[in-house]
Each structure stands twice: as structure tokens, then as C-alpha cells.
Amino acid sequence: MNLKNTYSFDAIVIGSGISGGWAAKELTEKGLKTLLLDRGRDVKHVTDYPTTLLNPWELPHGGQVPLELKKEYKTGSKNYIFSEATSHFLTKDEEQAYIQDKPYDWIRAYQVGGRSLLWGRHTQRWSDFDFTGPARDGFAVDWPIRYKDLAPWYSYVEKFVGISGNKDGLETLPDGEFIKPYELSCVENHFGQIVHNKFPNRHVIIARTANLSQATKIHTSVGRSQCQNRNLCERGCPYGGYFSSNSATIPAAFQTGNLTLKSHSIVHSIIYDEKKNKASGVRVVNALTHEMEEYYASVIFVNASPLASNLILLNSTSNRFPNGLGNDSGLLGTHMAFHSYRGRITAEYDGFLDVKTSGKRPTSAYIPRFRNVYQQETDFLRGYASNLSANRVFENTKGLVGDSLKNALLNPKLGLWHINVGMMGETIPKETSTVQLDRNLKDKYGLPQLRVSIGYDENDEKMLQDFHQQFKEMYELAGFKNITPIDTKRLPGNENHEMGGVRMGKDPKTSLLNAFNQMHLCKNVFVTDGSCMTSTSTQNPSLTYMALTARAVDYAIKEKKNL
């Protein structure tokens, strides 16, 4: 490869997804000339959302993806979000080969905005039941922070993002800075009341979601407007009704005049300056020309998403760090974890047939974790949160396309209420759950391939059984019929909440990052995507990545002269 082009900035951010977008916004707003690098193509807000305004009957294949195309997205097409309307936001397998020592579906969305374009937008805070989990239950290492350290930063990011939610006053799920909540359906309400009467620590609430149920000045100032409740967010939203890097943080960063965005730029490694004992920049493979470029800065934020960030750090070798940047402990790429989405349980309800839902709602109901919260009560560790939705099903639209689909939708035949609960289980980060480099096998850009060895264990199996038992009992109490427990057999990775490998902790011997996401052994590098997570808890993780990122930038700016 030829070495071409060198450029200098105050800060470099690797990856423009949810966490990288936040890093770019915060760094530029603090006055730093910042280079935001992304390996994918640029996706311009509004103009690059080709399917956003198509009606169901206008999709040529009724939403299905032709088999030929599906083959190119062998991994991505296993994700629930993959359809004719969204395939362009997922990544083809040939873009980045990897090795599965254990079966693993690495879902990638390589473009400017990353997975922020596709995400489900559920945004729940962690509580101290989550931050104290590893210390209480004796796994991983103790988190170096507690809820009080992150609480102001949750508030800070929530105001900008726009989180619709209800102040539920729950110890397990702290309230935030909410805009108007969406509503539970009558069956969700019914279920919630019955369950709460029998189990006072189980709560069915409306999920907190990053959709603008009300747009205020902080949102309109970057060009966003109120959500129209179309529930088509994963196509990109022309109203900016849901939070994405493309609609919110990147425009805010551009407004400062301090942002340079460079797409098609695959970060290969971080350059370590042996004389100054710190990182000096990044090596980048230009995805279009395959030439190597270098960019320099005094602060580097790593936000490529967990597996990709681990890959970059493991590939950042030098005389000082022959095993990867900051990796004296040998722990880089270990203690990976994820959320188990194996459990589902469906049912029908023949009550409330005089009621139907009107319009759409871009969220669902949510049941915060209730197992093993105050004391250990099962033979497995930790617990699960759950998504719940109850809707009346359309009985006359299946398999239809074009005009016949349009007519059926205009004259719907409604069936019974259909109830669906999905489990989001905490998995235990273990030293044996790893991602490592195979230096003999390269991908098409010449980067080493990642060897992934992450799987389920006995704890996960027991948790799955408990989920099915508990919900079967609750469904029966609520009078639901045709109860069907399902093991989705979803592989790790396909839940979209992969975490770990570069964990935070108090001690450089047992962790890679300190309490401010700063590398213990390379002070001007910060890692604030999911790879920093010491444990996973049960909440959807991205709100926590955002809060950690904003807090880390604040710290980096204050410490800048020492970096």
C-alpha cells in the first residue's frame, strides 16, 4: 500500500454511529477541530432515505427481498429489521470477512450514521442495581462508576435526543428528562394491572423511546420536527422525528464549523508515538482506492462499535504494545457479552373486541427486570427485562401486494388481540468470551480478520426457562389463550447489543479503561462505544453509551493539557 496524504486535527473520532456522533458533537461544540471518520458511504439526512415515503403497496416485492440479494446479505438478512425497505442500510458479508469459532451473527450497518439509522430507539437508564451487579454477584470486575456519576449526563443527552416517557418512579429504572409519553394499549394496561396486583415489584410501563412526541427548540434548532407516529423509523425519517446521528448529532457538529466528515475511511490502527508515550493519529485504508492514509490529532475517540473497535485496538501494535494498544494485561478482546433475545412468548386475548388501536405508535410496552433484584432468588444469576406489545391483528393482508394489499388495508378485517413478549436477558462477561485477530487471514481491505468466540452458557439456558415459566403464569392470570413459548435460537450478535472487550475498571491490571473511558495506559485515547461495558445489565444500551461519551469528552477537554 502507498502512504498518501497526511492531515492534522485537534481530535479524531472513529465511527459516526450513535456514540461517535455524540463524540463529534461534544468535541466540536467545545471548539476542537474534529475529524469524524467512517468506513461506509455518506448518508445525507432526508435525501438518502429512498424508501421513507413508500406505502406498503408501493414496495415492488411487498417488503420481501429477492433471493439473489439476500445471499449477499447472508448475515444481515437474519436480523428482524432486514427488508426490501431497509436492506440498503445493512452491510453485505463480502465487505468484512470474519471467523466464527462459535456461531455469531455480526450485524453491521457500515455507513455514516451506523446503526443509529436502524435502531429500535428504546432508551432506558441504568440504576445502581445494574452498576453494582458484578461486585454483588462476583463476576467480571466492579464498575468504576455508580449511577450518581452518570445521572447528570443521562439528563444532558436526554434533553438533546428527545426521549418520550412517563415518570414511573421505579427504583430499578430511574426517571429521566422526558417529553410526552406514548400510551399503553388496553390489553397492555389490563395485563399490567393483573400482574402488579399479584407481583408488586413487576411493572408494565410504556417504553421510553427516542422519538419526538414533542419537538422543542433544542430539537428544531438542528432541523428536526415532531414525530408523525408512522413507525417506519428504520427507513430514515424525513421529519427527523427519531434520533439518529444523521438527523441530530452530525448536523449539530457541522453547525459549529469545526467538523470534517470523511466517509469511505476504514481505520486500520491507531499510531503510537514511542517517544511521547501517547497516540499520535490513525492509519486509514481508503475504501475506494485501497490506499493507506494517515491523520494526526492529540485526542482520539474510538467509536467504531464493539467488535470493530476491538479489532482496531488489537491491530494497533507497536514496540511498546506488541499485543494491541494499552493491552499489557492481555485482557483486550476478552469478557465480551451481549443480551439474550432467545425468549419469546405469544398469546391471544378474546376480550376488548369493541376496541381497536388507531394509528401507530413508534414504541412498545416495557417490563423492567424483576428477577434477582433485591436478593438472589433463582439458580441463575441476574435477570431479564421484556418488551411487550398487544395489538389486534389484520387477518386479510397476508401475502398480498400492490392494489389488493392497498384495498385490504383500507378495509381491514381485525382478528383477536395478539400479545407478544420478548426477553432481553443479561449475559455474564467471561474471560473465555473473546474476539481476537487472525493475522494470517485478511479481509478484502487487508485488515486481519476477527476470530469470534462468544456463546450461550448454562446461566442463559436457565434464565430462558425461567422467562417462559414466569410469563406463562402471568399470561394465564390475565386470561390469555393459545400461549406459545418460543426459543428464537437467535445467535449472539443478532440482538444488536454486543458489548465488552475494552472494559472499564479501577485497576489497569484488570481493566483497559478508567472511570472516564480513558485508556489506563494511553491517556489520549478514549473508548466510549459498547466495548467499554464492564457488564451488560438488561436495558437497551445506547443511551448509556451516549451519556458515557458526553461525560468522557467533558473530562478530555478539562484534562487536555495533560493528554
Ligand X SMILES: Cc1cc2nc3c(=O)[nH]c(=O)nc-3n(C[C@H](O)[C@H](O)[C@H](O)COP(=O)(O)OP(=O)(O)OC[C@H]3O[C@@H](n4cnc5c(N)ncnc54)[C@H](O)[C@@H]3O)c2cc1C
**Residue sitting closest to ligand X (CB):** 17
Residue 267 or 408: which CB sits closer to ligand X?
267
Of 89, 83, 73, 78, nearest in space to 17 by CA? 89
Nine-digit cell string for 394: 389484520
User: HEC string of 395-462?
Assistant: CCCCCCCHHHHHHHHHCCCEEEEEEEEEEEEECCCECCCEEEEEEEEECCCCCEEEEEECCCCHHHHH
Residue 317 binds: one of ligand X, ligand SF4, none (C-beta under 5 to 8 A by kind): none
* 239 binds, options ligand X, ligand SF4, none, Cβ within 5 to 8 A by partner type: ligand SF4
Taking the complex as a whole, the smallest distance from the CB of residue 528 to ligand SF4 amounts, in Å, to 25
Direct distance between the N- and C-terminal alpha carbons of the chain, in angstroms, rounded to an integer:
31
Nearest residue to 551 via CA among 516, 523, 506: 516
Minimum distance of ligand SF4 from residue 239's CB (angstroms) = 5
Q: Which residue's CB is nearer to ligand SF4, number 230 or number 320? A: 230
List 11's β-bridge partners, or say none.
34, 299
Q: Given the complex with ligand SF4, which of 210 and 297 has the nearer CB atom?
A: 210
How far apart CA 286 and CA 5 sit, in angstroms, is 11
- By CB under 6 A, the count of residues binding ligand X is 41
Considering only residues 428 through 457, tell me which ones interact with ligand SF4, judged by CB under 6 A. Answer: none
Which grid coordinates belong to 562?
Answer: 495533560
Nearest to 194 by CA among 471, 538, 539: 471
What is the pairing mode between strands 518-519 and 499-501?
unpaired
d(CA 395, CA 415) in angstroms, rounded, equals 6
Is the Cα dihedral 247, 253, 257, 261 positive or negative? negative
Contacted by 303, from ligand X, ligand SF4, none: CB < 5 to 8 Å by type:
ligand X
Interface with ligand X, residue 502, by CB under 6 A: no
Q: Contacts with ligand SF4 in 234-253 (CB under 6 A)?
A: 237, 239, 241-242
Binding of ligand SF4 at residue 227 (CB under 6 A)?
yes
Among 32, 173, 206, 232, binds ligand SF4 (CB under 6 A): 232
Binding-residue pattern over the window 126 to 165 for ligand X, x denoting contact by CB under 6 A: ----------------------------------------
140 contact, one of ligand SF4, ligand X, none, CB 5-8 Å limit per kind: none
Per-residue binding string, ligand SF4, 156-195, x by CB under 6 A, is: ----------------------------------------
HSE of 88 in the Cβ direction (CA atoms, 13 Å)?
A: 14
Q: Does 54 bind ligand SF4 (CB under 6 A)?
A: no
Taking the complex as a whole, the smallest distance from the CB of residue 279 to ligand SF4 amounts, in Å, to 38
CB neighbourhood size of 208 (10 A): 28
What is residue 562's DSSP assignment? G
| Options 15-23, 44-52, 215-223, 315-323: segment touching ligand X (CB under 6 A) | 15-23
Q: Does 118 bind ligand X (CB under 6 A)?
A: yes
Considering the complex, state which of residue 208 and residue 219 has its C-beta at the smaller distance from ligand X.
208
CA distance 65 to 84: 5
Question: Which ranges constitute the DSSP H helices of 55-146?
Answer: 67-72, 128-131, 133-137
Bridge partners for 271 per DSSP: 281
Spell 540-558 as b/e; 16+ CB within 10 A means b: bbbbbbbbbbbbbbbbbbe
Cβ at position 238, least distance to ligand SF4 in Å: 7
Q: Which does 232 bind (CB under 5 to 8 A by kind): ligand SF4, ligand X, none?
A: ligand SF4
- Selection from ligand X, ligand SF4, none that 139 binds (CB < 5 to 8 A by kind) is none
Smallest distance, ligand X to C-beta of residue 234, A: 7
Residues 340-379 that bind ligand SF4 (CB under 6 A): 362
The Cβ of residue 416 has, within 10 Å, a number of other Cβ atoms equal to 18
Give the x/- contact pattern for ligand SF4 in 189-218, rule: CB under 6 A. ----------------------x-------
Of 20 and 240, CB closest to ligand X: 20
Rounded distance between C-alpha atoms, residue 36 and residue 262, angstroms: 6
Question: Is 454:338 a contact under the CB 8 Å cutoff?
Answer: yes
Residues 257 to 296 in contact with ligand SF4, rule: CB under 6 A: none
Task: Indicate the DSSP class of residue 207.
Answer: P
With binding defined as CB under 6 A, does residue 530 bind ligand X?
Answer: yes
For the window 302-341, what string marks contact with ligand X as x by the rule CB under 6 A? -xxx--x---x-----------------------------
Question: What minimum distance in Å lies between the beta carbon of 51 and ligand SF4?
Answer: 11
- The Cα-based distances of 1 to 263, 284, 285, 424 in angstroms read 19, 11, 9, 44
CB of 52 to ligand SF4, least distance (A): 7
Footprint of ligand SF4 (CB under 6 A) = 211, 227-233, 237, 239, 241-242, 362
Footprint of ligand X (CB under 6 A) = 14-20, 37-40, 79, 81, 107, 109-111, 114-116, 118-122, 265-267, 303-305, 308, 312, 496-497, 529-530, 540-542, 545
